[in-house]
Amino acid sequence: MNINAKLQNDNKYKCKFYVLKCNNYTLEEQAIINILKINPATTQEEISRQINKSVRTIKSYMAEMQEKGLIERKNGKKNGEWIVN
């Protein structure tokens, strides 16, 4: 890999990081949002497996995200789904 290609790749990553910070999302929150956009009926257990975090950690992240208004739960715990705002 030449140096120009390496610099272009570095700039690409910086840009993505900047976009995430502008939206006030952490990387974990962004990962959860991406998963929920694909499948709103995804469980917290499935999310924990996909991003390799404990279920308890996912529950904490998602509770914070609900407080921030990033996501909400519709139609209850058992048959509900997540809505990304």
Q: Quote the pLDDT of residue 24.
A: 72
Mean pLDDT by 10 residues, the chain (85 residues): 44 41 75 94 94 95 93 88 91
Q: Is residue 20 part of a domain?
A: no
pLDDT at residue number 23: 62
Confirm whether 7 is domain-assigned.
no
Q: What is the CATH number of the domain that holds 64?
A: 1.10.10.10
Predicted pLDDT of residue 34 = 93
Tell me whether strands 81-84 and 71-74 are parallel, antiparallel or unpaired: antiparallel
pTM of the entire structure? 0.69
In a domain? residue 13:
no
Residue 6 lies in a domain: no
Provide the pLDDT for residue 45.
Answer: 95
Q: 3-state secondary structure string, 27-83?
A: HHHHHHHHHHHHCCCCCHHHHHHHHCCCHHHHHHHHHHHHHHCCEEEECCCCCCEEE
Residue 35 covered by a domain: yes
Identify the H or E element spanning 84.
strand 81-84
Residue-level pLDDT at 82: 93
